Structure formats: structure tokens, C-alpha cells
């Protein structure tokens, strides 16, 4: 299913948002859907892996600090799955989010709290 806004096709695959904060999950889902994207959510890394078993997201927005299975643990497990694998943007309130993203070989990073234009710009760029 392709999400559209004003006739513009945004993506043929959903965005998977992974965060243990229900407010952030709901907020990102609302913002991204308003921007023309289909959105899946998971509250920890283990749940995100289960979602990936049944869905094929085009992009993952991943919090690093979560219970059950954190962001880095999720990435380790995701990389054991056969390709293709979606690009990952790590999200964190840590001051070193950018360097953590590089260490984890993520395609992008967002420092919390983040600017919505920055979020949508990264999403648009990675889903093109």
C-alpha cells in the first residue's frame, strides 16, 4: 500500500517506529501519517523483531534505550536476518547520539528532542 499526500507517493513500505515511550510512539505515528507515511510501532526491540517477521518496513526509527531488548541489541539481531534490511535511524537523548549512530552503522541519527523538519527531511531522504 502506498501512502500519498497531495497526490505525492511517499513510500510503498511502512516506517517502523521503535520506542518504549508511548507518548513518543503516538506522536511520531501521528506526525508521520500526517506526512503521508504508513507507520508500524513497537515498544521494544523484541517486539520490533516480531513486527519485522510479518512486515517489511522501508525504514526503522529506533530508540536506543529500551527495556527487554535495547536498540543496539535489536540491531545485532536484525543484522542476522537475510537482506534486504531497511535503513535505520537511531534516536536518543544521549549527547553522543551521532557517534553512537556511527558505531552502530546506522544510516542516520536524531538527537531527542528533535526538530520535526529534521525528522521529516531524514525520512524523506532515506525513503527516496
pLDDT for residue 7 is more than 50:
no
- Mean pLDDT of the region 35-48: 96
Q: Give residue 3's pLDDT.
A: 41
Q: Give residue 8's pLDDT.
A: 57
- Mean pLDDT of the region 93-101: 79
For the chain, which residues make up each domain, given as ranges?
A: 3-127
pTM of the complete model: 0.88
CB burial of residue 16 (10 Å; 0-12, 13-18, 19+): buried
Q: Give residue 98's pLDDT.
A: 77
112/49 Cα distance (integer angstroms): 23
pLDDT for residue 97 is more than 90:
no
106/35 Cα distance (integer angstroms): 23
Backbone angles phi, psi at 54, to 5 degrees: -110, -20
pLDDT for residue 78 is more than 60:
yes
Other Cβ atoms less than 10 A from the Cβ of 33: the count is 14
| Cβ atoms of residues 111 and 98 within 8 Å | yes
Percent of the chain at pLDDT > 90 equals 65
The hierarchical CATH code for the domain 3-127 is 3.40.50.2300
Amino acid at each position: 500500500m502506498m501512502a500519498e499526500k497531495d497526490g505525492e507517493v511517499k513510500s510503498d513500505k511502512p516506517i517502523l517506529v521503535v520506542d518504549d515511550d508511548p507518548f513518543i510512539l503516538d506522536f511520531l505515528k501521528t506526525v508521520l501519517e500526517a506526512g503521508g507515511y504508513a507507520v508500524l510501532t513497537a515498544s521494544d526491540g523484541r517486539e520490533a523483531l516480531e513486527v519485522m517477521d510479518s512486515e517489511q518496513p522501508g525504514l526503522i526509527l529506533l530508540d536506543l534505550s529500551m527495556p527487554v531488548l535495547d536498540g543496539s541489541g535489536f540491531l545485532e539481531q536484525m543484522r542476522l536476518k537475510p537482506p534486504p534490511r531497511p535503513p535505520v535511524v537511531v534516536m536518543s537523548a544521549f549527547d553522543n547520539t551521532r557517534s553512537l549512530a556511527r558505531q552502530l552503522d546506522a544510516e542516520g541519527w536524531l538527537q531527542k528532542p528533535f526538530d520535526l523538519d529534521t525528522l521529516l527531511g531524514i525520512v524523506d531522504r532515506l525513503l527516496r
